[in-house]
Amino acid sequence: MTGERQPFHEWIQLEQPRLGTQVTYATDEFFASRERLIQPDAPIFIPNKYDEHGKWMDGWESRRKRGPGHDYCIVRLGVPGVLRGVEIDTSHFTGNYPPQASLDACVSDDDVPAGGWTTIIERTDLGPDNRHFFDIADDSVWTHVRLNIFPDGGVARLRLYGVVRPKFGTIGVSLDLLALENGGRAIACSDEHFGSMHNLNAPGRGFNMGDGWETARRRGPGNDWVIFELGSPGIIKHVELDTAHFKGNYPDRASIEAAFFEDPADAVNESDAWQTLLAETKLEADNLHVYEGSLGDIGPVSHVRLSIFPDGGVSRLRLFGHIAFGKQES
């Protein structure tokens, strides 16, 4: 993932199918299937590719509307979340893009909600072959969004950036405190030249080397690191560090530090609050490393820092433990 960092990179992409998100309804999808709207890959254009409906396009595209009304599609999030940003991408749609769009959201148990929609992006102009970004200043938790296009046309991708807000049980419940589906997220890292930090707590094992976090080759002193915010403060009892698929480029060593921060803004690499959860240890190529008895007893924590020495790639990090609200008194 070389190049300039994209807008909203610090937030989770709530629309990704691996979280269970689905496009559950579209008024029309004659030219291009609604499912393509949330595909994780960047949209592509194949000049001479046609199907039985006409020109193949990598996105969702409705037919030309000849009467009143407009087209829309509904996305059901795999996990409830708070939206912080939205991207409506019309890449490769030039003479067939919708000139305007809006976005609604709601909370529902149904695949296709009948009502209860709240507008979070008012009707706004779109341009051809362009990525449109919108800030969302609303702390509401949503389960569905509805993309309205006026009057018809094609959208390549809809990206929904935000924070997962799962419903936890009582204090003491054991779970992966870092899992994406449990609200954990990477918030900062030293480098992610070859692979995103957000892959580290994604569901399942990595399917290839690109489905992990990998830094550039370090040519000077120092080491690479990534900082996570747990889905809920907790006490970590079991760690799994997976270097699956990383063979000639796995880190030589790793350590894990953790801390409880009252103010999340204080969770920076330079902080003196970090305590050792896992002392620096050797790693192996393409291997699932499991740690339990060797972990430090440091009580409830809200943030974790994974340090790798000196650089390289890690596929997944799992932090199993118990939910604990508030900092433990000494």
**How much is the average pLDDT of 273-297?**
97
- Check residue 174 and give its pLDDT: 82
Read off the pLDDT band of 319 (50, 70, 90).
very high
- Check residue 145 and give its pLDDT: 98
CATH number at residue 104: 2.60.120.260
Residues 143 and 252 grouped into a single domain? no
Asked if residue 1 is part of any domain, the answer here is no
Mean confidence (pLDDT) of the chain: 94
CA atoms of 211 and 329, how far apart (whole Å): 39
Residues 178 and 158 grouped into a single domain? no
Asked if residue 226 is part of any domain, the answer here is yes
Residues 103 and 196 grouped into a single domain? no
**How much is the average pLDDT of 299-306?**
97
Asked if residue 329 is part of any domain, the answer here is no
Res 7 pLDDT > 80: yes
The residue segments making up the domain with residue 271 are 174-323
pLDDT digits (tens, 9 = 90+) for 58-75: 999 999 999 999 999 999
Percent of the chain with pLDDT over 70: 95
pLDDT digits (tens, 9 = 90+) for 230-271: 999 999 999 999 999 999 999 999 999 999 999 999 999 999
Asked if residue 136 is part of any domain, the answer here is yes
| Residue ending a domain, choose from 164, 195, 225 | 164
- Check residue 166 and give its pLDDT: 85
Residues 99 and 198 grouped into a single domain? no
**How much is the average pLDDT of 202-223?**
96
**How much is the average pLDDT of 152-160?**
98
Res 274 pLDDT > 70: yes
| Residue ending a domain, choose from 164, 192, 216 | 164
Residues 151 and 180 grouped into a single domain? no
Res 330 pLDDT > 50: no
277 contact partners, CB below 8 Å, separation of at least 6: 236, 239, 256, 257, 258, 295, 296, 298, 301, 304
Percent of the chain with pLDDT over 90: 93
CA atoms of 315 and 210, how far apart (whole Å): 9
**Residue 63 has what DSSP assignment?**
P
Residues 247 and 135 grouped into a single domain? no
- Check residue 91 and give its pLDDT: 98
Q: Would you say 194 and 212 are in contact if contact means Cβ atoms under 8 Å apart? A: no
Res 182 pLDDT > 60: yes
Asked if residue 2 is part of any domain, the answer here is no
Count: domains in the chain? 2
Asked if residue 211 is part of any domain, the answer here is yes
CA atoms of 186 and 178, how far apart (whole Å): 9
Residues 87 and 218 grouped into a single domain? no
